[in-house]
Copies of this chain bind each other. A is one copy, B any other.
Amino acid sequence: MAEPRFDVLGIGNAIVDVIARADDDFLVRHAMRKGTMSLIVEEQAERIYGSMGPAVEMSGGSAANTIVGVASFGARAAFVGKVRDDTLGRVFLHDIRAAGVAFDTPPAPDGPSTARSYILVTPDGERTMNTFLGAAQNLGIDDVHAETIAAAAITYLEGYLWDPQNAKDAFLEAAAIAHDARRQVALTLSDAFCVDRWRDEFLGLIRSGIVDILFANEAELHSLYQTADFATALAALQKDAALAVVTRSEQGCVVVRREKTESVPAFPVERVVDTTGAGDLFAAGFLFGLAREHDHVTAARLGALAAAEVIQHLGARPETSLKRLAEENGIPT
């Protein structure tokens, strides 16, 4: 087995976030469910944008945010995702490369425009997302290059990829290539609604060992096992997954292995501005820790640190070097 060229490679929807503040009334008026991601078509996107307040545009996408976080820790990171060759596509491409991530998926020359997610941030810092998938849904098997996947120690996939059929095929192809090359496959469940759409298939991925490392937050875990009882869900997860991390916001996280579970506290935060990217950046730190062969608790602390950084400002990508931040906090990098 050759030395990996990348520590972590992510595959996900390539999305530009359009972020605006909104009050709770706005969500109610538009029948949005706080804290979740809804898929919308272009007409809905226009309607939501038309009624939203002034916005900021920033590159986003769950796995892309994670990969940028991995790079910010100083690791070798790569991303696979589909944009259109348009203004927002160029923004996405610029930002991910400027963050030090290898990104070579060719933009689509035609077809739907680059994916946008309208993110409404309420005064409590919670974010509610409405995503028009656009070009991202045309990510396909052709975009998954065997030599790139085989060159990454960990391939990280987002559950959102399960929504478009092409992306799902690409997901499974990538997982097969990774395992053939004796690499690891990680998955984030992405969103409780997404789990609700694909529950049985996600359980299949975990139980069959297609996924080696699983990330879930509490809502996603409850949705996966259809129970409101955390202990019940955790026990079920412990049976199904070789290694999983359940994130619990300000209650920190639980690292779940067959032989034991370990709780790691959240990092103290002065003020939560925008929770967008909290889970994505937790995964960044944890995956970086695994790539550096740190123990799981250290990896979880790196995750907690990165999540704490990203929720203290608007947007889902780190504003400061996570490597330096870890060093300042005495966590090994």
Q: Which of A's residues lie within 8 Å of B, judged by CB? A: 20-21, 49-50, 52-59, 68, 86-88, 91, 94-96, 98-99, 315, 317, 319
Contacts and interface: CB of A to CB of B under 8 A. Distances in A.
Contact of A56 (B58, B68, B86): B58
A54 B94 CA distance: 7
Contacts of A315: 56
| Chain multiplicity (copies) | 2
Contacts of A57: 56-58, 91
Closest 4 CB pairs of A and B: A87-B87, A57-B57, A54-B95, A54-B98
Contact of A94 (B55, B68, B94, B99): B55
Contacts of A59: 54
A54 B99 contact: yes
A88 B16 CA distance: 13
Given A86-B87, A87-B86, A95 B317 contact: no
Given A21-B319, A54-B98, A55-B94, 19 more contacts: A20-B98, A49-B94, A52-B94, A52-B98, A53-B98, A53-B99, A54-B59, A54-B94, A54-B95, A54-B99, A54-B317, A55-B95, A55-B98, A56-B57, A56-B58, A57-B57, A57-B91, A86-B87, A87-B88
A42 to B, nearest CB: 13
Contacts of A99: 53-54
A95 to B, nearest CB: 4
A95 B55 CA distance: 6
